[in-house]
Amino acid sequence: MPSLHDTRHYHLHHPIDLMTEFTICESLGHPRSPYLPALAMERTYGAVLGDRLREKGLLRQGCRLCEIGGGYGSLMRGLVEAHGDLVERVVMVDLSRALLGRQQRALNPWIDRVRFVLGDALEVLPAISGVDLFLINEMIGDLPVWTDFHPRGLPPEAAALIERYRLAIPEDGLFHFNIGAIRLVEAVCLKNIPAFISEHASDPIIPREMPFLVKGLATGGWPREIRLTAHSEYTIRFSHLEQVARALGRKVETGSLLEFIGYTNVEKARFIFNARACATDEQALVFEFLDHVREYRWLIIS
């Protein structure tokens, strides 16, 4: 029987500890993070994301940003620390009152430029205006998912989306369908505002220079459950999101998050990833990071 997996009760009522989840944003979130020197990186994730968005002309003078599901506020803090001269206003939307409080503390130095909205992204998004760019980092895996679907027993809402956007589904066997992530992308596209999205992918892209990272990783697959403390997330079928955005007339760019953050030390990565026997703390950090980040994709809708 298909059922709708929903983390909203967890995010509304549970004391959320992101340190029990390995998030890229927190791993690279602070200038003193041990992952940064291990990866030979100097800038935090928020600062690097700002660099890339600036290069692509999406982060411009007077920019009004909206981050959805900002966790501890580390991404936005890093971005504003590095690129605050460009940012006119920030809106932080989150379902968790406790995490919105953390974001408020993280962004305190810029508080006169920041507004906080408590609510469910899927409900709030249509009402948001005066924004030039959405940032949605590692949150769409938390949105509702139809689980244990059979291709011949689709709930009507999902069947309608699959037909409207001509989404590929397996011919047989049970699978999971990221209905919440698709709905969010649909809402973003209908607003005609660019968006950066990143998440665990069920169809990850492996950097061409690092083919060894594919070892033991499912690519081109269907969403899988990731069990976490007191809740589960699901990996995202990015090709579905791309297809929805294109069908709605938007341009999409996508790739591996490891490439996006500018990690280039292929030889070191090859040695550590192939050996898997880490002789030093630094090698252990690099291995842990690579093993995790290789499943992530980024997507820019413009």
Ligand X SMILES: C[S@@+](CC[C@H](N)C(=O)[O-])C[C@H]1O[C@@H](n2cnc3c(N)ncnc32)[C@H](O)[C@@H]1O
- Chain residues binding ligand X by CB under 6 A are 8, 11, 18, 21, 23, 25-26, 68-71, 75, 93-96, 99, 120-122, 137-139, 142-143
Q: Cα–Cα distances in Å, from 94 out to 58, 101, 114? A: 23, 10, 13
Minimum Å gap between C-beta 73 and ligand X is 9
Strand pairing report for 145-149 and 175-177? antiparallel
- Residues pairing with 201 in the sheet: 236
Dist CA 81 CA 239 (whole Å): 33
Nearer to ligand X, 121 or 189 (CB): 121
Minimum Å gap between C-beta 120 and ligand X is 4
Nearer to ligand X, 120 or 288 (CB): 120
Dist CA 78 CA 43 (whole Å): 8
Minimum Å gap between C-beta 93 and ligand X is 6
Minimum Å gap between C-beta 259 and ligand X is 18
Nearer to ligand X, 260 or 272 (CB): 260
Nearer to ligand X, 18 or 159 (CB): 18
Amino acid at 96: S
Minimum Å gap between C-beta 95 and ligand X is 4
Minimum Å gap between C-beta 26 and ligand X is 5
Nearer to ligand X, 9 or 166 (CB): 9
DSSP string, 37-65: HHTT--S-HHHHHHHHHHHTT-S-TTEEE
Nearer to ligand X, 26 or 242 (CB): 26
Alpha helices in the chain (DSSP H): 8-13, 24-27, 35-38, 45-55, 74-83, 97-106, 121-124, 156-164, 179-191, 238-247, 257-260, 266-275, 281-293
Left, alpha or beta for 108 (phi > 0: left; psi -120 to 50: alpha)?
Answer: alpha
